[in-house]
Amino acid sequence: MSTTSTRSMRAVRQIDYGGPEVLQVAEIERPSPGPGEVLVRVRATGVNPADWKIRAGLAGHRGLRPPFTPGMDLAGEVAAVGDDVTGFGPGDTVYGMVYPPGGAQAQYALARPGMLAPVPPGIDPVQAGALATAGLTAWQALAAARIGPGRKVLVHAAAGGVGHLAVQIAKAHGAHVTGSARPENHDFLRGLGADEVIDYTSQDFTDVLRDGVDVVLDPLGDDYGPRSLKILAPEGAYIDVRQPNPGRPEVRAMAQERGVRFTEITVAPDSGDLAGLVALAARGQLRVAVGHTFTLSQVGKAHELSETGHVQGKIVLIP
């Protein structure tokens, strides 16, 4: 039974850098919103690969000194607002993206209004809690690629968090979408609207798509970069979202040589993009596939699962 008092909350705390054992659940002081801040009662908080990469000290951890609260995705209700906040008030249902040290994997989290958007009625709060980071990454990547009707798009890792949302966003914009995944995920991809599927375990996408594509969205990096450039049509766009990706400078130079665009995406919270994403969900054009839910205390298990690199859809923690 929770012993949370009105001034405290349960939160995941990363107490060091290392394996999942550096994650603990602790009772800490509940934050209160300062000027320009919104306090959200978190109902669901998605797990992203960034969480375990930060935990292991591999990426995104600069400037973060343990102990801190991890987690970037949240959905819930506004509990209180600070001075100068307009547009949000107590009781509003919201979702969005925040950053550690004051992360989302807690019963309450603070956000700036520009990191949030209202959630329309009818959207499942668990899906909303898993949407922000992966959805914004896909949305911002496809916007950078100038997605539109008839554009041929290849989404690598299409069954994952970013990929499965990218497939649906690209379809909603009228693109022709090919997704790559293991055969076990092919029905899943077709169910999301993918026009073609590639089995990366037995097919080489550079053979299958040798006639060319306009856009490649790449969450995998390594040799996927140079191989993807080979199948890009002139003036096509290669969008690199993998982090960290040490091979990036070479791929950038190769793209320049071939006359195709190279764009590197670092996701950023944006209330307009969040509103656009959730509007697609409200119209039934975007579904967040939540493959696994865990409690806050099971955060270590959630990280282990994410680290396998073979999760279908999203993992969510319920505080």
Ligand X SMILES: NC(=O)c1ccc[n+]([C@@H]2O[C@H](COP(=O)([O-])OP(=O)(O)OC[C@H]3O[C@@H](n4cnc5c(N)ncnc54)[C@H](OP(=O)(O)O)[C@@H]3O)[C@@H](O)[C@H]2O)c1
Residues of the shown chain interacting with ligand X in the complex, contacts defined by CB under 6 A: 48-50, 133-134, 137, 156-157, 159-163, 180-182, 185, 200, 219-220, 241-243, 265-267, 306, 309-312
- Taking the complex as a whole, the smallest distance from the CB of residue 179 to ligand X amounts, in Å, to 8
- Taking the complex as a whole, the smallest distance from the CB of residue 41 to ligand X amounts, in Å, to 25
Between 37 and 240, whose beta carbon lies closer to ligand X?
A: 240
φ and ψ of 175, to 5 deg? -80, 165
- Taking the complex as a whole, the smallest distance from the CB of residue 92 to ligand X amounts, in Å, to 26
Between 60 and 319, whose beta carbon lies closer to ligand X?
A: 60
Q: For ligand X, which residue has the nearest CB?
A: 160
Between 162 and 213, whose beta carbon lies closer to ligand X?
A: 162
Between 9 and 166, whose beta carbon lies closer to ligand X?
A: 166
CA distance 300 to 262: 35
- Taking the complex as a whole, the smallest distance from the CB of residue 83 to ligand X amounts, in Å, to 32
Between 131 and 181, whose beta carbon lies closer to ligand X?
A: 181
- Taking the complex as a whole, the smallest distance from the CB of residue 64 to ligand X amounts, in Å, to 16
Per the CB < 8 A criterion, the answer to whether 91 and 119 are in contact is no
- Taking the complex as a whole, the smallest distance from the CB of residue 194 to ligand X amounts, in Å, to 12
- Taking the complex as a whole, the smallest distance from the CB of residue 201 to ligand X amounts, in Å, to 8
Between 33 and 60, whose beta carbon lies closer to ligand X?
A: 60
The string of DSSP codes covering the chain is -----TTEEEEEEE-SSSSGGGEEEEEEEPP---TT-EEEEEEEEEE-HHHHHHHTTSSS-TT--SSBB---EEEEEEEEE-TT--S--TT-EEEEE--TTB-SSBSEEEE-GGGEEEPPTT--HHHHHTTHHHHHHHHHHHHHTT--TT-EEEETTTTSHHHHHHHHHHHHTT-EEEEEE-GGGHHHHHHHT-SEEEETTT--HHHHTTT-EEEEEESS-TTHHHHHHHTEEEEEEEEE--SS-TTHHHHHHHHHHHT-EEEE------HHHHHHHHHHHHTTS----EEEEEEGGGHHHHHHHHHTS---SEEEEE-
Between 259 and 309, whose beta carbon lies closer to ligand X?
A: 309
Between 79 and 111, whose beta carbon lies closer to ligand X?
A: 111
- Taking the complex as a whole, the smallest distance from the CB of residue 45 to ligand X amounts, in Å, to 14
CA angle 163, 168, 173 (to 5 degrees): 125
